[in-house]
A and B are shown apart, each in its own frame.
Chain A
Amino acid sequence: MKKSFSSVAVAMAMMVAPAFADNVKIGYMTTLSGGAGIIGKQMQNAVNLALEHQGGKLGGMDAEVVFVDDQRKPDVAKQLANRLLKSDQVDIVAGVIWSNLLMAIHKPVTRADKLLISSNAGPSPIAGENCHQNFFSLSWQNDQTPEAMGKHMQDAGIKSVYLIAPNYQAGKDMLSGFKRHYKGTIAAEVYTKLGQSDFQAELSALRAVAPETTMIFQPGGMGINFVKQWKQAGMDQVSKLYQVFSVDGVSLPALKDSALGILGTQTWSPDLDNAMNKRFVADYKAKHGGYPSFYAAQAYDTIMAIDYAIAKAGSKDTAKMRAALAAGGIPTTRGALKMNSNHFPIQNIYLRETVKDADGVVTTKVISTVFTDHADSYASACKF
């Protein structure tokens, strides 16, 4: 009996060899401590949910995920990337919220001939001239989302806009992306302190100018502060507020009703109508008692993309997985994702509004599609 069982096992192992012979190890880097810890927590939840949905296997291989906390510091990120590659010997490095951290680990990981898959950051240098074939983005290139905001406001016939962003690289990138399609008057371009918590002085200055519209990029806690103080100062009577990356599943629980009606652009929304997204949002809500943010959705997509790549390649060989991902058609919560020549997604960008769902919980809803199959503007400069 025992003998026959083992011979059956051997026979099965020979038929679907990788499933038994191999396991895959993923190093997942995100920010779990500090003020941005909530973002990392949501991403971790989503990664674990994806593994659960796949029964702990990715592409048929037993999967193990090593989570590391980059503390939002580039030097820490670099050390951790080295640790993941050398001592943990992971097959794939994924995650990364911040552009400056992704820049820090881009070279070490891609040069080590491992895949680096971003769940969020998409800085322009690695989308253009400094691109590398081992890098994939499962999120977006930084400019794409504000480009859509600019396009929407241009099409809506808005005459003037007042821009506010934190004084650092991503802040400047976002505003330059916005201006690519917006051709109206820029009433002012105000840069605030990174991590600023009180915006009343900026709001007073804005009230004096009284621009037709205001567009902000204030991610994380800054977005909560800005929107809260905007409402408290009665600014809705002065100007109409638009935003990118400032009102999302991370900030809405703290903002609640004060964020209602605010428009923004995003590549994902909890109400996107496809089976994978419905399952993801429903199970995430059931398990964690609140809506997932786009960060969580992209983390979920990252794991699903790895599952897809291994299954399609039939192995965890870097070159084979790379070919599988580069061909596109990756199943995600945004539908089947197309890949550009620089390994950044070609995808729809939606206009979202903050609304209440049937249970009275504040969330975002897609109003319209601003761009269909939008490609970033750096791909032509990328030669592998």
Chain B
Amino acid sequence: MTMTLILEQTFNGLQAGVTLFLVAAGLTLILGIMDFVFLAHGAQVMIGAYAAAAITSVTGNFYLGLLLAIPVTFASGYLLELLIIRHLYQRDHMEQVLATFGLILFFNELIRIGFGPAALYSDLPPSLSGFVEILPDTPYPAYRLAVILAGLVLALAIHLFVSRTRVGAMVRAGANNPAMTAALGINIKILFRLIFATGACFAGVAGMLLGPLTSVQPGMGEPLLILSLVVIIIGGIGSVRGAFIAAIIVGLVDTLGRVFLPALLRLIIDQAAADGAGPALASMLVYILMAMVLIFRPTGLFPAKGS
């Protein structure tokens, strides 16, 4: 009974972790390689979710919605870099924060003008609305299993791309020493643009996968942005591997903490106090974890830059 609950919660944590990874993967490269503070990454999640939900409702096919939304998010990232972001690389971090914060407001308002302030309707594709028995008598939503699988497959693809391909080597070199990489004749501008667009695309995929589970509405990506910044700090800025491991850790700590911490506290202190303190403490857990990492390993668990 308790074991099955722990297993089920572990799956929930994994699912939160892989979605978080999809958001953090692009962001860690943007921060690490381009040394650019980009706060509007949550908007890419929203754009992905809206694109998929809108196309799905027009075509009536969830998978077609996903397939067609991917180029939309890639294009939005590409254009954003081309029109705005590249002009900000030379500015200091404070100005980048201000400019990209402005972009959050801009995208939220743009979505509101285009789709209205109400949440969009989106639901599971019928083929994935069933359940899978992960253990006898423990049904788990098939769609959430599919999200975990899709996340793991994408993570593997990103890993192979970064570690095995020529462009991946450029990305790694860029993370390690951008000036030297440029000096070796690699067109760092194009590289940046592609990294940016790909990162936006992954965040968009996270949004597409989340769409049927949560409400598709303006500003939906912002809570994910904060958690993915935590992931990046824990994993080490610029490290995709670090982002993956940190995302899984954060997903598990957040989920398991939320469910089991109030129950554990109830064993120590009385019920009313535990009900009050439990959820508050649980929501702090990942930040406590981040603080510990900053104290003991300030560069993160898997720092990308060689010292």
* Chain A contact residues, CB within 8 Å of chain B: 34-35, 37-38, 41, 167, 189-193, 195, 197-198, 200-202, 204-205, 207-208, 221, 224-225, 228-229, 232-234, 250-251, 253-256, 258
Contacts and interface: CB of A to CB of B under 8 A. Distances in A.
B119 A254 contact: yes
Contact of B143 (A37, A204, A232): A232
B168 interface: no
B16 interface: yes
Given A41-B117, A228-B215, 9 more contacts: A204-B8, A204-B9, A204-B259, A205-B5, A224-B119, A229-B213, A253-B118, A254-B215, A254-B216
Contacts of B2: 208
Interface string B210-231: 1011111111100100000000
B187 interface: no
B279 A253 contact: no
A225 B5 CA distance: 22
Contact of B259 (A41, A201, A253, A258): A201
Closest 7 CB pairs of A and B: A224-B215, A254-B119, A37-B117, A38-B117, A197-B214, A191-B279, A38-B118
A197 B223 contact: yes
Contacts of A193: 258, 279, 283
A163 to B, nearest CB: 10
Contacts of A207: 8
A229 B139 CA distance: 14
Contacts of A204: 5, 8-9, 12, 259
Contact of B119 (A34, A38, A191): A38
A208 B12 contact: no
Contact of A256 (B4, B5, B121): B121
Interface stretch (B32-40, B123-131, B198-206, B298-306): B123-131
B280 interface: yes
Contacts, number: 112
Contacts of B275: 189, 191
A195 B219 CA distance: 11
A35 B217 CA distance: 7
Contact of A234 (B139, B218, B262, B280): B139
Interface residues of B, number: 49
A221 B219 CA distance: 11
B276 to A, nearest CB: 8
Contacts of B213: 198, 200, 225, 228-229, 232
A234 B258 CA distance: 22
11 contacts: A34-B108, A35-B218, A167-B280, A198-B16, A204-B259, A221-B220, A225-B213, A229-B213, A232-B143, A253-B119, A254-B122
A234 B144 CA distance: 13
A254 B120 contact: yes
B138 to A, nearest CB: 9
Contact of B12 (A167, A191, A200): A200
B141 interface: yes
A193 to B, nearest CB: 5
Nearest to B1: A208
B28 interface: no
A255 to B, nearest CB: 8
B139 A37 contact: no
Contacts of A225: 213-215
B159 interface: no
A41 B112 CA distance: 11
Contacts of B223: 195, 197
Nearest to B118: A38
Contacts of B123: 228, 256, 258
B123 to A, nearest CB: 7
Contacts of A232: 124, 129, 141, 143, 212-213
Interface in B98-145: 108, 112, 116-124, 129, 131, 139, 141, 143-144
A281 B137 CA distance: 47
Contacts of B218: 34-35, 37
A192 B119 contact: no
A204 B9 CA distance: 7
A195 B220 CA distance: 10
A200 B144 contact: yes
Contacts of A229: 213-214
Nearest to A196: B223
Contacts of B121: 253-256
B57 to A, nearest CB: 11
A319 B13 CA distance: 59
Contacts of B283: 167, 193
A191 B212 CA distance: 24
B215 A37 contact: no
Residue among B139, B279, B280 with the most chain A CB within 10 A? B279
B176 interface: no
B148 to A, nearest CB: 12
Given A197-B214, A197-B223, A258-B123, A234 B118 contact: no
Contacts of B120: 254
B106 to A, nearest CB: 13
Interface string B247-289: 0000000011011001000000000000110111001000000
A205 B122 CA distance: 25
Contacts of B124: 232
A229 B214 CA distance: 8
A228 B210 CA distance: 12
A196 to B, nearest CB: 8
Given A34-B219, A167-B279, A208 B15 contact: no
Nearest to B224: A197
A201 B112 CA distance: 30
A10 B262 CA distance: 74
Given A41-B117, A253-B121, A254-B121, A233 B141 contact: yes
A38 B262 CA distance: 34
Contacts of A228: 123, 213-215
Contacts of A167: 279-280, 283
A166 to B, nearest CB: 9
Nearest to B278: A191
